[in-house]
Every structure is written in C-alpha cells, then in structure tokens.
Amino acid sequence: MQHPQFESICAKEVKDPRTTKPHVLPLYATSSFAFESIDEGMDIFTNKKEGHVYGRYGNPTMDAVADKIAALEAAGTGKEAAALLFSSGQAAVCTMMLAMLKQGDKILTQGNLYGGTTELFLKVLQPHGIETILMDLHDLELVEKTVKNDPAIKMLYCETPANPTLACVDLEALAGIAQRYDRYSAVDNTFATPYLQQPLRYGIDFIIHSTTKFLNGHGNSIAGALVTSHTAQMRMGGAIWTTLKLAGTNCNPWDAWLIHNGMKTLAVRMERHCENALRIAQELENDGHVSRVNYCGLPSHPDHLIAKKQMRAFGGMLSFELKGGLDAGIRFMNAIKFCTLAPTLGDVDTLILHPASMSHLNVAKEVRLKNGITDGLIRLSVGIEHVEDIIGDLKQAMGSI
Ligand SMILES: *Cc1c(COP(=O)(O)O)cnc(C)c1O
C-alpha cells in the first residue's frame, strides 16, 4: 500500500504500537469499536463473543466501573450481582421502572424519597399508567396487607437512610414481603453506599445509586448505577440492558472514569465521614440552639435499631432543627464560613443546606412540613476534613443567630 497523503494522516485513527500495560484504567473516549473481520462483528452482535459495538450499548471504561460497583455490593454476601451505569441516579431509577413495569402496574413507596424520585414517579410514570402508592414503610403490617390485596403492586421501592430525617426502612422485612407475594423490591442505597449497607444480603432485588454522591465523592460528575441479582436482565437482550440501550440513558466514559478514581478511596472516606458525623451529631445534641438532631447513629433516633441491624456505621448525613425557626436558619447560614452552601451531598468537603430557604423554597409549606422539612431544619453532608474545623464553624454560626 502507498503512504497515505496529508489529509488521510489527519483523518485516520492512530494505532498505538506500544505494548506496555496502563496501570490505571484507561479512558476509552470512543463512540464505536472496530471489528477485525465480519465474523468477529457477527459474533459480538449476536452475543457469541464478548466485545463492544457502540458506546451507547457499553464501553470498556464504563463496564469496568459497573463491574466494580457490582462487586462492592456483592462482596461477602455470597450473591451474584450485575451492574450498569447510567447518565444519572434518576436515569437509573427511570430505566429500571420502564424495564420492569408496564401500564397498570403500581409502585408502593414512602413519601420521604429524594424529591426528584417522587416527582419522577408522579409526573412522568403516573401519566403513563404506572401508579404510585405512598405509605409509611415502618408500618409493615399495613404494607403487607396492601401488597397482599393488590396484585397490581409490582415494585416495593424504598430509600434508607432517607432525606432529611435519616428515617430508615427495615430492608429484611421489606424484601421478605416482596418475596412472599412474588413482587420486586428496590432500594436507593446512595446515602449508605455498599461500604455501610449491602441490600443484597437481605434479599433486595434492585439497588440504585446516585454515584454523583459518596461513590464518586469528589463532586465532579453526575451519574447513576443500578445493581441487581437478576443478572440476566442486565446482559445483552435482558429487559434493563435493552431499555438502557434504546432509551439512551447510558453513562459516558469520562464520568465513569471519575467515579472509578473516587471509589478507590471509598472505604477510608466513609470511615472518616461516619466518625466526623457521629462526633458532630453528639456536639449538636448538647447545643442550646438546637431542638433536635436527626442522625441514625444516635440512640435518640427513632430508627437507630433498624440502622444498627443493617448498617456497618451510620454515614455522613445528618440534619438538625434550630429553635429559632426560619429567621434563625437564614442567619445561621449567612454566618457559615468554613462549610459550603451547596445543594448536593457526599463530597469530601462539608456541605450545608437550609431546605426551607434553598432547595424547598418553591415547595408549598404544608407539603414541606409533611415531609419533615421544618423552617429551622439544617442538613449537613459531613466531609472528611478535621472535625474541629467543622464544629468550630457550626459553633461560631450558632453565635450569630
Ligand atoms: C441525588 C440523589 C438522587 C438523584 O441522583 P442524580 O445523580 O442527581 O440523578 C437519587 N437519590 C438520592 C438519595 C440522591 O441523593
């Protein structure tokens, strides 16, 4: 073959002639994968041979990270699990529901889910004929009776610990109900991460993560994951894989690569998040400006025993109620210097939120109060900094109320 001309050198892909192996997972920034021959292409397309085709269906960076998340959720449980990555936590939930449910099916869940999830169920799924029933999932007798009497309920969906009160759901009990009546169970495990809580142990079918939060930990990527023991649904041709591929709710290699970097330190970060959060919760419980502290690691928390049963430690999220209500909340937030006012969570640095004046400003007060978001409630995503720096900031801001 003759040497290619200038224009061809510009346009042609390069072949890397080096053979040394990268130590760190490479970022495969490619939208498609070239086949060596027609035969190879056909084998990959028909699932006879493992391989990649097109980035929306999968990519080596994304698949490696998904496999790692599945391995973390399954570690030590004796269960097999498969995972897929999505463009966000919301995309993971939405794809799971579209794949596993159909018109006429119902979801049974709690009122205090992540706000976006509730909205997804009510504003997107409900108009398509998938109804949502909201219930206090502590009332297991009522849950069981409702499931037993309504065969249309196909999915029991929960979040534990949940925003903003750190309310917990008994995973073993919920999975038991789902199994007895042959329904699916799913849990949003974003707050706990698999380091602190592995829902597969209790027989939960599907686990959702907003990897945007603790799994990544560095606040530089938005993505989601779905993990399940129903591995066939996740492989080529399975319902979830097919829905992801056709709805285009896939992640991308760059975000996957960032999650991978973050997850390397997940265990040590979670240790520090938990240690700092418990110490801060104890300090706040003794602060005269505070009427209540919501941290499931405190014996005073109504769900402490449920948390203790199913979690290794209690996580980095907590909230507390200022006695002075809305005005105190606003003055407190304006005096914060060290922590960052930001509406996300799970980053290495401490993030603070006053829902009544920030995330829930446009939510009707009755609705907000019904979900435990009172005027003086402050939510803290405790970081891994030196704990005295965080406590010092909270104390000086208390002084300005
Ligand atoms: C942030 C969050 C979500 C949504 O995840 P995105 O990645 O923002 O789509 C779902 N559940 C919980 C508990 C969350 O904190």
In this predicted structure, the answer to whether residue 211 has a pLDDT above a threshold of 80 is: yes
358 Cα to the center of ligand 1, angstroms: 17
In this predicted structure, the answer to whether residue 20 has a pLDDT above a threshold of 90 is: no
Q: What is the pLDDT of residue 358?
A: 83
Identify whether 37 is part of a domain.
Answer: no
336 Cα to the center of ligand 1, angstroms: 25
Distance CA 361, CA 257 (A): 35
Question: Do 272 and 234 fall into the same domain?
Answer: no
Distance CA 189, CA 194 (A): 7
Which of the residue ranges 19-23, 225-229, 297-301 would you say has the lowest mean pLDDT?
Answer: 19-23
pTM here is: 0.95
Identify whether 95 is part of a domain.
Answer: yes
Answer with the one of 263, 291, 319 that is the final residue of a domain.
Answer: 263
Question: Do 213 and 179 fall into the same domain?
Answer: yes
47 Cα to the center of ligand 1, angstroms: 33
Task: CATH number of the domain at 91, please.
Answer: 3.40.640.10
Mean pLDDT, rounded, for 328-357? 95
Average per-residue pLDDT for the chain = 95
In this predicted structure, the answer to whether residue 379 has a pLDDT above a threshold of 80 is: yes
**DSSP assignment of 152-170:** TEEEEEEESSBTTTTB---
Please identify, by atom number, the ligand 1 atom nearest to the C-alpha of residue 116.
4
Mean pLDDT, rounded, for 77-94? 98
The gap from C-alpha 349 to its chain's centroid, in whole angstroms, comes to: 18
Distance CA 344, CA 9 (A): 46
Name the domain count of the chain.
Answer: 2
Answer with the one of 217, 235, 263 that is the final residue of a domain.
Answer: 263
Q: What is the pLDDT of residue 244?
A: 98
210 Cα to the center of ligand 1, angstroms: 5
Question: Do 66 and 199 fall into the same domain?
Answer: yes
Three-state DSSP class for 19? coil
Question: Do 315 and 167 fall into the same domain?
Answer: no
Q: Where are the beta strands (DSSP E) in 5-90?
A: 82-86
Q: What is the pLDDT of residue 241?
A: 96
106: β partners: 131, 153
**DSSP assignment of 253-290:** HHHHHHHHHHHTTHHHHHHHHHHHHHHHHHHHHT-TTE
Q: Which amino acid is at 351?
A: L
Identify whether 84 is part of a domain.
Answer: yes
Q: What is the pLDDT of residues 252-265, one digit of tens each?
A: 999 999 999 999 99
Q: What is the pLDDT of residue 71?
A: 96
Q: Where are the beta strands (DSSP E) in 71-171?
A: 82-86, 106-109, 131-134, 153-159
Q: Which helix (H) or strand (E) holds 254?
A: helix 253-263
Identify whether 138 is part of a domain.
Answer: yes
Q: What is the pLDDT of residues 124-173, one digit of tens each?
A: 999 999 999 999 999 999 999 999 999 999 999 999 999 889 999 999 99
Task: CATH number of the domain at 349, please.
Answer: 3.90.1150.10
Question: Do 249 and 271 fall into the same domain?
Answer: no
Kindly list the protein residues whose Cβ atom lies closer than 6 A to any atom of ligand 1: 88-90, 114, 116-117, 159, 188, 190-191, 210, 212-213, 222, 224, 345
Question: Do 377 and 360 fall into the same domain?
Answer: yes
CA distances from 323 to 71, 289, 326, 376 (A): 44, 6, 9, 7
Question: Do 240 and 109 fall into the same domain?
Answer: yes
Q: Which range marks the domain in which residue 94 is found?
A: 59-263
Q: What is the pLDDT of residue 134?
A: 95
Question: Do 75 and 222 fall into the same domain?
Answer: yes
In this predicted structure, the answer to whether residue 213 has a pLDDT above a threshold of 90 is: yes
Please identify, by atom number, the ligand 1 atom nearest to the C-alpha of residue 212.
7
Identify whether 1 is part of a domain.
Answer: no
Question: Do 392 and 272 fall into the same domain?
Answer: yes
292: β partners: 321
Question: Do 332 and 257 fall into the same domain?
Answer: no
